[in-house]
Amino acid sequence: GELGGRFDHIIGIYRDALIMLRGRVAYAHDWVSNATLATAFAALPGAGFTVEGAKPVKNTALLTTAAELRLPGGAALFAKFDGEFSHRSQMYYGSAGMRYSW
């Protein structure tokens, strides 16, 4: 489950250029406490096996920030940062790029 909010704000710069700012702050809770899966092959009865994974983190804070600059003529520059923070781990990932449409 996830509970949080998303926020958008648009700022006009000049002529038809805009900056769009986006954000997300959320709390995520995972109810799965067992990372073990029991499986079997359908064609080989009795040949089952167990797969164990890393124990998932129960509570995580989620953060997203993004900005997009839309220029006249169909060009846009964008950047985005995402983070997940818990007591055992932290993950960061981001992207940036350019779009052009005509």
CA dihedral 37, 41, 42, 46 (to 10 degrees): -90
State pLDDT tens for residues 37-92: 677 777 777 777 777 777 778 899 999 999 999 998 889 999 999 999 999 889 99
Q: Is the pTM of this model over 0.75?
A: no
The DSSP symbol for 87 reads S
Cβ–Cβ under 8 Å, residues 46 and 61: no
d(CA 69, CA 93): 20
